[in-house]
Amino acid sequence: MSAPQDIIHQLQREILQLQGSRPPAPGQAALELGPIKEAFPNKTFPTGAIHEFICPRPADEAATAGFTAGLVSGLMQSGGVCVWVSAGRKVYPPGLKIFGVPPDRVIFMDMHTEKEVLWVMEEALKCEGLAAVIGGLRELGMTVSRRYQLAVEQSRVTGLIIRQQPRQLYPNATVARWHVTHLPGAAVPGMTGSSLTGSANPPLPGVGFPRWNVQLSRIRNGHPGSWEVGWQAGRFHFEAPKINLQEKVLRKKTG
């Protein structure tokens, strides 16, 4: 009974490998991504691939930077180095530490124009010794993204591209497209009693931990979805999944 099922799974895995998604190397720690993992092929975060993060508003860039830093910290666990390429950089290195990225292991390459970023980004993606490359770009077309994808298939570097206020979202060769936006901080319940009783214990003042709404709108061979993700005590914190109608439709479409 289970034999044909096994064969199909086996074949699916082989197809995935042919399409360029490989399971992580034995020594490499898998990212702890909780429920988001279900969305990925092989249930592992696709490393050695290009991910793009769409930031329509300037404020989203900060949220995206935090979320990507969280992802990269997982990739840098074994002493790796990350390269951050951007034009007009605003990233403040000490602010990365809270997301588990040692700022002294990030090499910032500050360019003046987007054209320079494109070249440096490709050179960095070809460099095998890196754990990840984060780039800030406005537009990312098919040609460029395909070049990047070919480069990382060779070097196994993970490329994360933060799209700052893109004008058009053309289809491109990236593996995943993410939207990260801020969520209002969750009220941290008071110290005494149960939080369920509510009014008796007013929540602690303050902004609380960072929280984001993470939407995976496109993932090759996976299932798009949307999650509420927080960052607590040096790791991602996941809240109950919330799937609305739109994503159900999306899921049906992509299979």
Contact set with another protein (CB under 8 A): 27, 59, 61-63, 65-67, 69, 78-81, 83, 90-99, 102-111, 116, 119-120, 123-124, 127-131, 181-185, 205-208, 210-212, 231
Smallest distance, Å, CB 26 to another protein? Answer: 11
Nearer to another protein, 7 or 187 (CB): 187
Least distance to another protein from the beta carbon of 87, Å?
Answer: 11
Could you tell me the smallest distance in angstroms from the CB atom of residue 38 to another protein? 24
| Cα 209 to Cα 192: distance, rounded to the nearest angstrom | 20
Which residue bears the tokens 């034995």?
Answer: 26
Query: Which residue, 83 or 219, has its beta carbon nearer to another protein?
Result: 83
Q: CB-wise, 4 or 205, nearer to another protein? A: 205
Candidates 43, 53, 130, 34; CA nearest to 84 is: 130
Closest to another protein by CB, 6 vs 128, is 128
Nearest distance, CB of residue 89 and another protein, angstroms? 9
Closest distance of CB 90 from another protein, Å: 4
Quote the least distance from Cβ 112 to another protein, whole Å: 8
* 3-class state of residue 178 by DSSP: strand
Helix (H) or strand (E) holding 226: strand 225-232
Nearer to another protein, 110 or 153 (CB): 110
| Residue 161 Cα distances to 175, 207, 209, 244, angstroms | 11, 28, 25, 27
Q: Is the CB of residue 81 less than 8 Å from the CB of residue 130?
A: yes
Rounded distance between C-alpha atoms, residue 142 and residue 1, angstroms: 44
What six digits make up the tokens of 194? 């149960």
- 131 vs 172 by CB, closer to another protein: 131
CA distance 96 to 121: 20
